[in-house]
Amino acid sequence: MSITNDYLALVERIADAPLVAPVREVFVPPLRDRPDPSAEFGAVVLEDGSVG
């Protein structure tokens, strides 16, 4: 195969892939008048259990 064929095959794979992973839950810090910057966090849990 040539680099062109490899590149086109990769483009086709990317085009067939879902653009957004399914999200199970989103965690955000509670709203506060005076938030503590060291305690702020957020997390997204994907359907496969990945967290970020």
In the chain, where the domains are located? 20-52
| Separation between Cα atoms, residue 2 and residue 47, nearest integer Å | 37
| Separation between Cα atoms, residue 26 and residue 45, nearest integer Å | 6
Q: What is the pLDDT of residue 16?
A: 86
Among 52, 24, 49, which Cα is nearest to 41's?
Answer: 52
- Region of poorest pLDDT, from 3-7, 9-13, 18-22, 35-39: 35-39
User: pTM for the full model?
Assistant: 0.52
